[in-house]
Structure 1
């Protein structure tokens, strides 16, 4: 059995009803969820579960994915789809739950919204960076997207200069002000293999994203030296519009 990922049908859903289908040592799995699991560098959602039988409110402090089906598509990274999604809760509470119970699953929309914006903002910065250093995406060796920053790690000995950082920041903020459309769409052969696109720049990504650059506010771009042959690009967003209000 797989978990139905409602965030792919409507990423602005903030809650849903789910039936408990499995309990493991880390948490609980439902037939469906609105909670995005950790993956592709993006942190997992947090929130709480309401146990309908008792109206008990149970915090989940992370969301991850397990199992799934491997896919191998041309010009697309190898990923797993049709995963089970684990909502991590206090281990003591696990002992009290029963398979088949109904729960309401609610996510922390403030954290999701800010993480979503930093994810799209990071792609925008990469889009600009590739006009300066073409095909640098092939050198990406790591990523992290949280509610307060986004970062990309590159395998390169060529450190980012102050002029490059300033150009990335200025151009990204200019694109934000333009209010450009952002679209996500599936691969023609696999609905969970998704792309992110702004203008003519397209990159594989299954994370959550805003639908327009106008929501991104103001971007600050920094670098960090993480080794002789590695370099880190970091973006932080401020003056973010109230994107959270879009959640249902």
Structure 2
């Protein structure tokens, strides 16, 4: 099973890993900092052994990387794994923001279940069923989310006691199952801006943006 270093330290920008298997352009590593699309969170971008990664795929508890070209390295060799840090950090900020916004959506509107979600480098989105437009509620929810974020609360992510592949996200009194990558403190998120989109009768989408560039 691939050791997922991005859970232990999501701030790592590069690491060394041993190549476990190569099949044409497909590569498996013994450990990685390179997140593969899962739970609505976009994959990282970057390279393995100097070769650009085209796609990262989660297969069960393993991660398979599809390279843009056949690599010059071989199974058993040690390679450098590098990620696009600006993309990763923006996603970390947006993913943590999404949990906080969802908490206040639930608190204000009783949204207890999502029908879709996505976190990319540009924005996060939450899709849910609701009988009317939520536009008139967003200003209040945005205000509450930003007030919470400004407090500088610690964010913790950790493995479930019964299964280390099952992960939790926790901040103050908010707790959700989540295997994504996150910032360590709410102040790293910055201010959030919310936008409503209609995606069909009885269905609403809230898009989440984070303002400003925070360097880490």
TM-score, reference length from structure 1: 0.82
Q: Which residue of 1 aligns with 2:100?
A: 124
Point out where structure 2 has 5 or more consecutive residues left out of the alignment.
none
CA RMSD of aligned residues (A): 1.6
Q: Which residue of 2 aligns with 1:65?
A: 58
> Deviating runs (4+, > 4 A) in structure 1?
none
Work out whether 1:161 is the aligned partner of 2:138: no
Q: Which of 188, 207, 210 does residue 237 from structure 1 map onto?
A: 210
Q: Shift of the alpha carbon at 1:101?
A: 2.5
Q: Which residue of 2 aligns with 1:93?
A: 70
Question: 1:148 & 1:116 partners in 2: Cα distance?
Answer: 12
Q: How many residues align?
A: 216
Cα distance change, pair 25–145 in 1 and its aligned pair in 2 (3 A) = farther
Map 1:28-177; keep pairs closer than 5 Å: 28-50=27-49, 57-66=50-59, 68=60, 83-90=61-68, 92-93=69-70, 96-134=72-110, 136-138=111-113, 140-162=114-136, 164-177=137-150
Q: Secondary structure at the match of 2:150?
A: helix
Alpha carbons 1:194, 1:204 under 8 Å: kept: yes
Alpha carbons 2:25, 2:70 under 8 Å: kept: no
Alpha carbons 2:160, 2:166 under 8 Å: kept: yes
Point out where structure 1 has 5 or more consecutive residues left out of the alignment.
51-56, 69-82
